[in-house]
Structure 1
Amino acid sequence: MNLAPHTLMTSAANAVRRPRHLALATAWLAGRALMLWLLAHNGLAVLGGGRVAGEVWWLYHRWYGGLAHGVFPAHDPLWQYPPGAGPVLLSPALLPGLTYFQAFVALTLAADAAVTGALVRAGGRPGHSLCGAAVWVGGLPLLLHLPLARYDVQVTALAVLALLAWSRYPRVCGALAAAGALVKVWPALVLLGPARGRAARSAWTWAALTAAAVLALFAAVCRDPFSFLLQQGGRGVQIESFGGTLLGLATHAGWPGTVGYRYGAMEFTGPYVPAVAAASLAFTGVAFALLLLWRVRARNWTPATPYDAALSAVLLFTVTSRVISPQYMVWLVGLAAVCLTSRHTTQRPVAALIVAATAVSSVVYPVLYHEVVTSTWTGCALMLVRNGLLAAAAALSFIRLWRSTDGPPHLPPRLPGGPLASLLPLPARRLSGAHRSPSR
């Protein structure tokens, strides 16, 4: 029995994919089982002495009581999140048979599985790669049990799904990006990279409409949904930020600053801290200006450019932030994974740097966090390595993004037989070029 060539090729491709899918599924189950085991032993000193899971137990659950009655914690300085975070923190009510903590972890694992499935499906298409799914599956456990005790996996899921929907469903992309931005702001950056045209305008329009509709709903049915804006202005310099690394080193030169728990993070207080915070905001402005300049000058778009631009933008905003919490690495791993689903991406070395920085982050927190808090030489060295890797990733990412889109637009290659040959079926195109005399 004769089979068509494309049927044979499809069968062969499926045969190759099946072992890879099985390997990814096995790795996901093993990695998440390890993360759950670590979470169950969260009280060990080397795992943070209960601090990692404590945020869900005593903070999220506390907010849950007010949010369930439509009241945002306006007078709580630890509330730093846009109103979209409310539904995420209320979501454990969907699983009434479990405790709040158990339901939160179960829903986080469900979001993780959704991201994995989306990356596997995207990577299985022609011209794509399963490397992205492998980076997500293997990269998340590098943060130990932390991702299961924060809602950054859910936020990253919205950003990942938005990017993967872009090429086929720009309206869905815009709506998902807006939903993510209403939870933790940064997913709005995934809309930076789409090429100019009707599809990009559609994505931006749907993002604006979605955001406006949801914000109007919050304003109508909830109390103090925008209170987070008042708390953001008071934030200082977190010890894990670039500014915090400099201040930590300054303590060894006699700087008299101290570290205290403020606004949900360990922050420096003392002389020059406001100046360091202002410098961070200024650098964030410079990063935004560079991204706008790239957007104006970009001429060449590949299928991976929206992915690459999103990763570059989030990296730049991360390294210039006054706060670089360890869970921020979840965002970067997710975006790097999306980039690696495409064979056109320019961000492969950037993804390697992000994975390395993620591994160091788990040593910073929770394993040796006391060293970082007390600014010992070990703690300062860890922060120099982690933040140095992030700085290198951000610079390399933006340079590669700029170079990949610089210059005149690429035109598709001309097919043999003249411009009308592109309208012919593939065999006819081959015949149309077969009888052309060679050029002399």
Structure 2
Amino acid sequence: MNRLRVTPGPVLALTAIWLTTRALMLWLLVQGGARLLGGGSVSREVWRLYFHWYGVLGHGSFPVHDTLWQYPPGAGAVLLAPGLLPGLTYFEAFVVVTLAVDALTLAALLRAGTRPGRSLLGAALWTGGLPLLLHLPLARYDVQVTALAVLSLLASARSPRAGGVFGALGALVKVWPALVLLGMPRGRPTRTAWAWAGWAGVAGLALLAARFTHPLSFLREQGGRGVQIESLGGTALNLARHAGWPGRARYQYGAIEVVGPHVHAVATASLALTAVSFGLLVLWRVRARHWTEATPFDAALSAVLLFTVTSRVVSPQYMIWLIGLAAVCLTSRHTSQRPVAVLVLAASALSTLAFPMFYREVVTGTWAGCLLMLARNGVLTTAAVLSFVRLWRAARPPAGKTGPPTQPRSGFNRLPERALSLS
């Protein structure tokens, strides 16, 4: 089979843009004390909170009775990784590790995009989309989590086993990467990916439990979280303050949350909407009749979008997840999510305006802060609805065709024919 020859020009151009934008992000990190850059609040999480947890983990235990520790045990491995780099402070090493993982993600997207029939738009989205969040990605470990989700999706087409393992590792760090396996083709690819994900998850958890005490301590604190001010429910309550609602914003559980009457009802409604979203995704999978190579990518983005907009939290770093998944979608010319990717970029830019640039207005509930969050969450909600609608429509069989579901012709075609039968 003749392969299309890929010219090195676009790859070199994207590499140069990556180097330029990441240098700018580093400069912003150094200048992070400026008021418009958050007054140091962005980087504080690394040198104060992450470094504190690093010390606790170094003594062989996960944080216990710490209301801020709300992450699965795999997060401990990520937070310990900077300690492997000698001669650097913890903060410096953390940023170096994050940049290295960022570069690895770009390399994976470039490799996927230069294959025949694929596109470099995904690599371009990652390269240009992440700087929309200014220096925030360098001071959170969400780049590392997103990299595992990206690698899971890109690897799953050639090796469902590898895809399952990467997905499980991501879920051990932050739970959401488990959603990336939702769109695996039916039959053997799904069974293989999910089985390997299960075994990898159990093995990883066992290793962490053998090395550290209290590996499940995060569960106690996760359940106590309320409604964060950046969430859809938090935005609605913030707007209600202008209509006389007596609630207020308060720092708790590591975030600014809304407290006051009816907050519990809003939190319950968010959880109910998350359950409804999960039900819709299950219904899509049961009724889907047409798969392409892009279907697993599109399903992952749609699932994470739905779970994001119905969350009680919706922190700004969640946009890193969405940029990474949208980038994977754009590596395929068959994706249905191109308009959604544009909305993700718009929401990312609005998130930056909300935090760190004008976060004081958001917290105090001024009209400017409320309208800014309303715009960001409105774009995110539109993206989630549009994503699922396009995913649903793309699952219909081509016009004039009926019969059993169709499977992708590329990527998974390396498996035997019997492997693609319905489960």
What TM-score, normalized to structure 2? 0.93
Residue type of the alignment partner of 2:266: V
Q: Could you say which residue in structure 2 is the equivalent of 1:415?
A: none
Distance 2:147 2:82 in 1: 17
Q: Superposition pairs for residues 220-231 of structure 1, below 5 Å?
A: 220-231=210-221
Task: State the Cα deviation string for residues 197-245 of structure 1 (Å, max 9, x = none).
Answer: 2122111110000011111222223111101111111110000000000
Match of 1:47 among 37, 41, 49: 37
Matching of residue 153 in structure 1 with residue 143 in structure 2: yes
Q: Superposition pairs for residues 394-405 of structure 1, below 5 Å?
A: 394-405=384-395
Residue type of the alignment partner of 2:15: A
Matching of residue 176 in structure 1 with residue 166 in structure 2: yes
Matching of residue 185 in structure 1 with residue 172 in structure 2: no
Measured after TM superposition, the shift of residue 411 of structure 1 is 6.4
Higher mean alpha-carbon deviation, 68-77 vs 267-276, is at 68-77
Match of 1:257 among 227, 239, 247: 247
Match of 2:328 among 326, 338, 360: 338
Measured after TM superposition, the shift of residue 156 of structure 1 is 0.2
Distance 1:87 1:151 in 2: 11
Match of 1:354 among 311, 335, 344: 344
Q: Superposition pairs for residues 243-392 of structure 1, below 5 Å?
A: 243-392=233-382
Contact 2:288–2:405 (CA<8 Å) still a contact in 1? Answer: no
Match of 1:197 among 187, 190, 194: 187
Structure 2 gaps, min length 5: 408-423
Distance 1:202 1:256 in 2: 53
Q: Superposition pairs for residues 90-169 of structure 1, below 5 Å?
A: 90-169=80-159
Distance 1:321 1:118 in 2: 29
Measured after TM superposition, the shift of residue 406 of structure 1 is 2.3
Measured after TM superposition, the shift of residue 74 of structure 1 is 1.4
Measured after TM superposition, the shift of residue 410 of structure 1 is 6.7
Contact 2:291–2:406 (CA<8 Å) still a contact in 1? Answer: no
Matching of residue 208 in structure 1 with residue 208 in structure 2: no
Q: How many residues align?
A: 402
Distance 1:404 1:58 in 2: 46
Q: Could you say which residue in structure 2 is the equivalent of 1:38?
A: 28
Residue type of the alignment partner of 1:108: T
Distance 1:305 1:129 in 2: 16
Task: State the Cα deviation string for residues 66-92 of structure 1 (Å, max 9, x = none).
Answer: 101211111110001000000000000
Distance 2:108 2:203 in 1: 27
Higher mean alpha-carbon deviation, 25-34 vs 214-223, is at 214-223
Residue type of the alignment partner of 1:371: E
Distance 2:227 2:238 in 1: 11
Cα distance, 1:377–1:168 mapped onto 2, change above 3 Å:
same
Residue type of the alignment partner of 1:166: S
For 2:292, what is the secondary structure of its paired residue? coil
Measured after TM superposition, the shift of residue 377 of structure 1 is 0.4
Distance 1:274 1:123 in 2: 45
Matching of residue 240 in structure 1 with residue 230 in structure 2: yes
Cα distance, 1:215–1:252 mapped onto 2, change above 3 Å:
same
Distance 2:126 2:250 in 1: 33
Distance 2:232 2:331 in 1: 30
Q: Could you say which residue in structure 2 is the equivalent of 1:423?
A: none
For 2:153, what is the secondary structure of its paired residue? helix
Distance 1:152 1:411 in 2: 35
Task: State the Cα deviation string for residues 302-336 of structure 1 (Å, max 9, x = none).
Answer: 00000000000000000000000000000000000
For 1:252, what is the secondary structure of its paired residue? helix
Identity level (%): 66
Cα distance, 1:296–1:410 mapped onto 2, change above 3 Å:
closer
RMSD: 1.2
Distance 2:75 2:294 in 1: 29
Residue type of the alignment partner of 2:56: G
Structure 1 gaps, min length 5: 413-440
Contact 2:290–2:406 (CA<8 Å) still a contact in 1? Answer: no
Measured after TM superposition, the shift of residue 23 of structure 1 is 1.1
